[in-house]
Amino acid sequence: MRKRIRALIVAVQISLILAGASCKTAPAPSEVQQALKQEQDLWRAGASVYAAEEYERYREDLKAARRFYEREELKIGFFRDYRRVKEEFSKILAEGERIRSLVESRKVSQQNEIRKFLEELYSRFELLNSLSLELSQRSFARNQLSQADVILRETERLLEKEEYDEARARVKTVEYLLNQAEDILRQQLGRYMDEEEIARWKKLAERAIEKSRSGNQLVILVSKLERKLTVYKGGIPIRTYDVGLGFNGLNDKLHAGDNATPEGEYKIIKKIAASQFGRALLINYPNEEDIKRFNEARKNGRLTPGSQIGGLIEIHGGGKDGLTRGCVALDDGEMEELFRMIPVGTPVTIVGTTDSNNKIVAILKKERK
């Protein structure tokens, strides 16, 4: 009887031990939750964009590991073996870390690529913008350059937000706008790159200086591109002033209202002590050559029948930084000096430039490369 009781007690104890063991469930490996969090972190980092194939394989492997883990969870606690689960999820974590590094590397690569292109565009923008502003060609390429400036700033913000596809699209737009602005400036300023035109201007300038030398007289030479007015006497420059031109001053004047500054050989026909712009020296525009060009342009249909040739072109005060309607403007103090120095009848020669390697050549030829 006692033996039976002892056997029963032992059996109950064993049952309790086994029952206790089956109720104690080993905790799931921490790698499981780490991997689930890692997947979300990779998605937020842009893995689906910058490492699409690798990230998709990673997600498939993660799904397989989760299915294995779920099957293990269905077992009674005593029979669960998380060693294999831990191994599978450790592999997942290692692959996820590799993908994270790959994503960061590709982001940096893309950012560097776009930034390099941006630097080139900024350089082009600065050159074209300074040329446009400095030469007063504001009504031609300014719209494209203003748009390019805005989009360049937008691109910087997109780079900060790591929106590289959008940034790349903006870069292409900026390139297109800069190409447009450059084409406009080439059309407007192309003659300053024309060797024959520059040679013609040089002859006019040389003739003016020779006239000063041979007659030992005062002669005014205006170079529009350089924005300089030089007074010669006896063939020697005695005064040089910075000047401002018309809104469309680099073009050769053809008709009234074109805001261009005329080119050619003129003379002072009147001194005006108190004009709208202070002291002024009136030149004899239009001369015979101007009238001939104007009539040919109207005959060839380049001008409407109602077009007028215009006049009242002066060298006057009011400030070199202001935009005129075709005149040549000086600061008032310098205009006062010039006004006292120059008599009526003084020859005036106005040219585009005499420099074959002028700033337009330097900038626009560089842009072609």
In the chain, where the domains are located: 25-193, 197-355
Residue 137 is predicted with a pLDDT of 54
* Per-residue 3-state assignment (H helix, E strand, C coil) for 258-300: CCCCCCEEEEEEEEEEEECCEEEEEECCCCHHHHHHHHHHHHC
Query: How far is it, in rounded angstroms, from Cα 137 to Cα 175?
Result: 20
Band of residue 320 on the pLDDT scale cut at 50, 70, 90: confident
Band of residue 134 on the pLDDT scale cut at 50, 70, 90: low
pLDDT tens-place string over residues 187-197: 878 888 889 99
Residue 147 is predicted with a pLDDT of 93
Residue 4 is predicted with a pLDDT of 57
pLDDT tens-place string over residues 76-125: 776 788 888 999 999 999 999 999 999 999 999 999 999 999 999 999 89
Residue 193 is predicted with a pLDDT of 86
Q: Is the pLDDT of residue 226 over 80?
A: yes
pLDDT tens-place string over residues 2-51: 555 555 544 444 454 444 444 456 688 999 999 999 999 999 998 998 89
Nearest alpha carbon to residue 358 among 187, 174, 161, 135: 135
Residue 251 is predicted with a pLDDT of 84
Q: Is the pLDDT of residue 185 over 90?
A: no
Average pLDDT taken over every residue of the chain: 87
Residue 233 is predicted with a pLDDT of 96
Please identify which residue in the block is written with the tokens 């602005």.
181
pLDDT tens-place string over residues 246-260: 778 888 888 888 888
Band of residue 174 on the pLDDT scale cut at 50, 70, 90: very high
Name the CATH code of domain 197-355 (choices 3.30.450.20, 3.40.50.11540, 3.40.630.30, 2.40.440.10): 2.40.440.10
Nearest alpha carbon to residue 262 among 242, 280, 282, 238: 282
Which position has the higher pLDDT, 7 or 241? 241
- Per-residue pLDDT averaged across 230-245, rounded? 95
Strand partners, 266: 348
Residue 282 is predicted with a pLDDT of 95
**Segments of 181-256 assigned E as strands:** 218-223, 228-233, 236-242
Residue 178 is predicted with a pLDDT of 93
Residue 127 is predicted with a pLDDT of 85
Query: How far is it, in rounded angstroms, from Cα 237 to Cα 151?
Result: 47
What angle is formed at CA 87 by the lines to CA 86 and CA 91, rounded to 5 degrees? 115
Query: How far is it, in rounded angstroms, from Cα 327 to Cα 247?
Result: 10
Query: How far is it, in rounded angstroms, from Cα 4 to Cα 232?
Result: 139
Q: Which amino acid is at 83?
A: R
Q: Which two tokens stand for residue 126?
A: 């600065």
Q: Which two tokens stand for residue 220?
A: 């005014």
Residue 13 is predicted with a pLDDT of 47
Nearest alpha carbon to residue 153 among 108, 117, 118: 118
Lowest mean pLDDT among 176-185, 234-243, 269-278, 355-364: 355-364
Residues of the chain above pLDDT 90, percent: 56
Query: How far is it, in rounded angstroms, from Cα 229 to Cα 241?
Result: 5
